[in-house]
């Protein structure tokens, strides 16, 4: 018999009261009788907010996504909004993706807001997450919600919260809202909808978002260049099918092949192992079509259309997938060139990225005389930079996990506009008898050859969370002194915002919010970051290596990565 902690049993018993519907109680009783391990994982803690809001497995319990956990969040958020915007007629915008129960859960959230006398703009059907960020500002809302679990497996769903600037929650709003939520019991939730406060929206926001995307993602590409570019696009059964084909066509790109087998929104994601464009398998079908058609570029987006994967032809004319760092560097360099050529750079612009992304971003940005800013993982921190530095113009920014944002009309990673930007680069380079791949090699030749590798280790449930915590604790108490045959010269611990110069034994402060991240820098320029995911049961190790040699580049970089991976000794 599996032991269940008495505190967990207390949580379970609260859900077996009349506050919860009969179906929920019946499911709990079945878990008690037949699956006590799942029961414990469903109830042992409250599902927490992470870098991307609240995300988790759907089901009954405090540690699951369901009408009650989302209802409690929404009730707490309603209370906070009424405190912060006293005397205002408060409005929120709500969107949802293709996942199972997303539409129904979005309606639950809308009902709770309306029950609390808050006006709701609810998208009538699934829409990309970046369009929700846009809608918050476009509709002058105080808040926005999107029901999504991004690229997680089918059993997941989630709840992302946006503030009035269109960016995701950041301090101090996040902790204040969490405190408000934690002060509530489930019986405090008001589910009684006021239908007159809920307005369905569609074309008016779609039209405005598409127009803004084209304005921000277009860079004087000739129509001939657009006509000559062959594009293969897959939505991976997600929301991007509602917007990306429309935007590409309106921007002048006619030769777009949509992967029909993956075009229908489907929360089971039946044609892929994972709907994550970071995984090469997800783009396999699109790449096969591209090879058959002789296409120039493949674009694939995740279910909520905030990340995109890109494949282009290499020097051997074969389609290869760009990793997130490569795609980010290409887009950033191109944007900086466009701004420079237009005479728009005057020292008051900035580009942003994250602490686990490639160091190449800093080198490229600063070479153009543009300010470079770095934040924690998650686009909410980039959006916060845009908000915190209104005197500076935001050119663009990205992160290694396939997200990019062009300009500040959206305050989140935006695969719609980033797709158009990628096509602009590909079209212009092809017109100039070059390619995106050759363009990347030119950038490497100028700034040095960089290569990155991600190790992602899944540790599920309560036991997994403890194992991840122990791994981080071990690296802090007994830090690496050498990695990959090179001495560690600097250690950054973001849990206490401290940097250690290993050679000199000196300590300095890091000016960034606290986070459970460790970064090691070595003498040969390598960078190794360890970070538990904020939204998934994973710990991630981000490895970046570089070389200035012009021969045996790939072999040299891969050897470095292999040596570092072996030294980390993680599984």
- Catalytic center residues: 150
Neighbours of 395 (CB within 10 A): 24
Contacts of 297 (CB under 8 A, 6+ apart): 229, 230, 231, 232, 290, 310, 311, 312, 422, 423, 426, 436
CB–CB of 377/356 below 8 Å?
Answer: yes
Per residue in 472-483, is it b (16+ CB within 10 Å) or e — as a string?
beebeeeebeeb
Q: Is 3 helix (H, G, I), strand (E, B) or coil?
A: coil
Contacts of 133 (CB under 8 A, 6+ apart): 144, 162, 166, 167, 410, 411, 412, 414
State the SS3 of 66-78.
CHHHHHHHHHHHH
What one-character-per-residue DSSP string does 498-528 give? EEEETTTTEEEE--S---S-EEEEETTS-EE
E strands of 71-196, at which residues? Answer: 91-96, 119-123, 143-147, 156-163
For residue 506 the two structure tokens come to: 């000196």
Measured distance CA(97)–CA(239) in Å, rounded? 6
Q: Which of 261, 267, 226, 243 is nearest to 65 (CA)?
A: 267
Measured distance CA(251)–CA(324) in Å, rounded? 24
Measured distance CA(488)–CA(566) in Å, rounded? 16
- Write the DSSP symbol of residue 280: G
Measured distance CA(128)–CA(277) in Å, rounded? 15
Q: Is 157 helix (H, G, I), strand (E, B) or coil?
A: strand
User: Distance from CA of residue 327 to its chain's centroid?
Assistant: 15
Measured distance CA(34)–CA(487) in Å, rounded? 53
Neighbours of 431 (CB within 10 A): 15
């Amino acid at each position: 018999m599996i032991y269940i902690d008495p505190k967990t049993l207390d949580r379970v018993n609260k859900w077996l009261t009349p506050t919860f519907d009969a179906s929920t109680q019946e499911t709990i009783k079945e878990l008690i009788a037949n699956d006590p391990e799942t029961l414990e994982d469903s109830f042992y803690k409250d599902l927490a907010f992470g870098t991307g809001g609240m995300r988790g497995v759907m089901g009954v319990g405090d540690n699951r996504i369901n009408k009650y956990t989302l209802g409690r969040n929404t009730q707490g958020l309603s209370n906070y909004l009424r405190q912060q915007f006293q005397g205002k007629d408060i409005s929120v915008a709500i969107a949802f993706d293709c996942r199972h129960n997303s539409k129904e859960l979005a309606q639950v959230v809308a009902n709770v807001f309306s029950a609390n006398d808050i006006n709701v703009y609810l998208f009538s059907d699934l829409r990309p997450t970046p369009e929700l960020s846009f809608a918050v500002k476009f509709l002058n809302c105080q808040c926005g919600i999107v029901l999504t679990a991004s690229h997680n497996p089918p059993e997941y769903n989630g709840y992302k919260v946006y503030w009035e600037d269109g960016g995701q929650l950041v301090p101090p709003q996040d902790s204040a809202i969490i405190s408000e939520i934690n002060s509530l019991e489930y019986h405090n939730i008001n589910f009684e909808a006021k239908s007159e406060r809920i307005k369905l929206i569609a074309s008016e926001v779609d039209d405005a978002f598409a127009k803004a995307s084209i304005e921000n993602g277009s860079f004087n590409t000739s129509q001939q260049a657009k006509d000559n570019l062959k594009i293969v696009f897959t939505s991976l059964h997600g929301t991007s099918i509602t917007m990306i084909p429309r935007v590409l066509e309106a921007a002048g790109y006619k030769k777009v092949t949509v992967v029909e087998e993956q075009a229908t929104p489907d929360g089971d994601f039946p044609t892929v192992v994972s709907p994550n464009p970071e995984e090469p398998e997800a783009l396999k079908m699109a790449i096969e079509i591209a090879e058959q058609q002789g296409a120039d570029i493949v674009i694939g987006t995740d279910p909520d259309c905030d990340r995109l994967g890109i494949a282009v032809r290499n020097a051997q004319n074969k389609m290869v997938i760009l990793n997130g760092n490569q795609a980010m560097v290409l887009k950033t360099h191109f944007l900086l060139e466009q701004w420079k050529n237009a005479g728009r750079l005057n020292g008051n612009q900035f580009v942003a990225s994250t602490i686990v992304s490639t160091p190449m971003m800093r080198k490229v940005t600063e070479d153009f005389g543009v300010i470079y800013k770095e934040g924690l993982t998650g686009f909410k921190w980039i959006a916060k930079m845009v908000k915190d530095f209104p005197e500076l113009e935001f050119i663009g920014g990205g992160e290694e996990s396939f997200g990019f944002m062009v300009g500040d009309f959206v305050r989140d990673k935006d695969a719609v506009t980033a797709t158009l930007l990628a096509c602009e680069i590909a079209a212009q380079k092809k017109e100039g008898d070059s390619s995106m791949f050759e363009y990347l090699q030119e950038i490497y030749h100028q700034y040095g050859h960089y290569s990155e590798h991600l190790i992602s280790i899944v540790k599920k449930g309560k036991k997994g969370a403890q194992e991840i915590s122990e791994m981080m604790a071990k690296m802090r108490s007994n830090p690496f002194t050498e990695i990959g045959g090179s001495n560690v010269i600097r250690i950054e611990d973001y849990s206490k915002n401290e940097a250690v110069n290993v050679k000199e034994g000196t300590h300095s402060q890091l000016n960034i919010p606290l986070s459970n991240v460790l970064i090691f820098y070595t003498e040969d320029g390598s960078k190794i970051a360890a970070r538990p995911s904020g939204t998934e049961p994973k710990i991630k190790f981000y490895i970046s290596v570089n070389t200035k040699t012009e021969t045996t580049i790939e072999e040299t970089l891969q050897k470095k990565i292999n040596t570092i991976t072996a030294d980390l000794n993680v599984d």
